[in-house]
Amino acid sequence: YDIASLLNTYLDEDNVDYYRDPGDNGTSLDIQDYITYLRSDLEEPINIDEYNNVWKNVLGQILKVKLLKTYKKHHRTYQDLLEGKPAYYETIAYKIEKFEKNPEDAPSAYTPVQSFIIPNTSELDVFKYVDTQVRYGDTKVYRYDVNAIKIVFGCNYRYSFNDEADGFEAVDASTPEKVLNPNNYQDLLATPFSEDGEPQQYSATCGVEIYPSIVMMEDLYFRTPDIIISDNPPISPDVNIVPYRAVNDRILILLNNMIDSHRLPPIEILDSDNDKFEFNKKAQLTPDDKILFSSDDAIKKYEIFRTEKEPYSYTDFERIEQTSKTHYVDQI
């Protein structure tokens, strides 16, 4: 958005048509669409006209003067433009955009859900944003875009020639086709050589007019990959095998929940484990084949596997019990 033009239009007292309804895209280019008023008074309603006057007559003028001072301090000359010097900019805020889609949809099916504006102030060092409005499991996939909102102090320029008063038009750099107007150039190919046979040398003198172009724009700063909300799988329990005294056909297995976390390669025992582990890898955005296992909640149930022959892999074990108890008695 051309913030300087919008601000000038808003501050113009003679502009009675400034306030208008939003267009087809929902944007009215009304500067009041991007500001809000906060107050702690709970007894009297806000007088919008009062706050509009404060913004327009005081804060609006302050902002305009500050923008012009910043431009004058960091403006570029024509030589700077030829040398490719970039325009000065200031990051005034960061915008977090949240998108969602169904897991089976294409990446282009993301739809915007929410947006959050974080001001970039000197009092803010590291900002941590925790989104609590998400759905758990594989029902939705999310993506977040972080855009830096910048005010860019750029410039426009045009060329003007000395004999413009004789009917020559000023030539805008963005419309070079105007140079081909018969009134604006001399056919240099008509006399390519001088009388002594040497190539003709021509020169032209022109002026360059540079004027401010102060715009506010969004620059993509960071984009997350697809995000799925899921808990980490639990770590293995602490297991103690206790034999019975004078009993040779039973053993007692004591199970104890552990609170810990570690990253390990997943081990598949059941046929359904592969799909679950792949889901965990996507949810954790793991850079390798390892998964973060962690436990800090109460365990609902334990799964007990057993084999009666010498195992060669974990798939040789069969699940014999699922129990919510912290002990299990096995017949041997």
Section 306-329 average pLDDT: 91
Last residue within a domain, chosen from 74, 102, 122 = 74
Range of the domain at 309: 230-331
Residues 113 and 173 in one domain: yes
Verify that 149 and 243 share a domain, yes or no: no
Work out the pLDDT band at 180, boundaries 50, 70, 90: very low
* 218 and 104 in a common domain: yes
Give mean pLDDT, residues 86-110: 91
Q: Round the average pLDDT of the chain to a whole number and report it.
A: 80
89 shares its domain with 223: yes
- Asked if the model's pLDDT at residue 116 lies above 70, the reply is yes
Question: Residues 144-156: what's their mean pLDDT?
Answer: 92
* Look-up of token digits 């009062």: 50
Domain count, the chain: 3
Average pLDDT over residues 71-99: 91
Half-sphere exposure of 129 (CA within 13 A, CB side): 15
Same domain? For 82 and 225 the reply is: yes
212-224 confidence digits (pLDDT tens): 888 888 999 999 9
Q: How confident is the model at residue 44 (pLDDT cuts 50, 70, 90)?
A: low
Strands 111-119 and 88-101: antiparallel
Question: Of all residues in the chain, what percent carry a pLDDT higher than 90?
Answer: 32
CA distances 180 to 43, 110, 184, 248, Å, are 69, 47, 7, 106
CA distance 53 to 75: 31
Within the chain, where are the H helices?
Answer: 3-11, 48-54, 60-74, 78-82, 273-284
The residue among 32 and 231 whose pLDDT is bigger is 231
313 and 240 housed in the same domain: yes
Q: Could you tell me if 69 and 87 lie in one domain? A: no
Tens of pLDDT, residues 266-308:
999 998 999 999 899 989 888 888 999 998 788 889 999 999 8
Residue 49 sits in the same domain as residue 88: no
pTM of the entire structure? 0.67
Query: Alpha-carbon distance 275 to 291, whole Å?
Result: 13
End position of a domain, from candidates 188, 211, 229: 229
- Please tell me whether residues 65 and 85 are part of one structural domain: no
38 within 8 A of 51, measured Cβ to Cβ? no
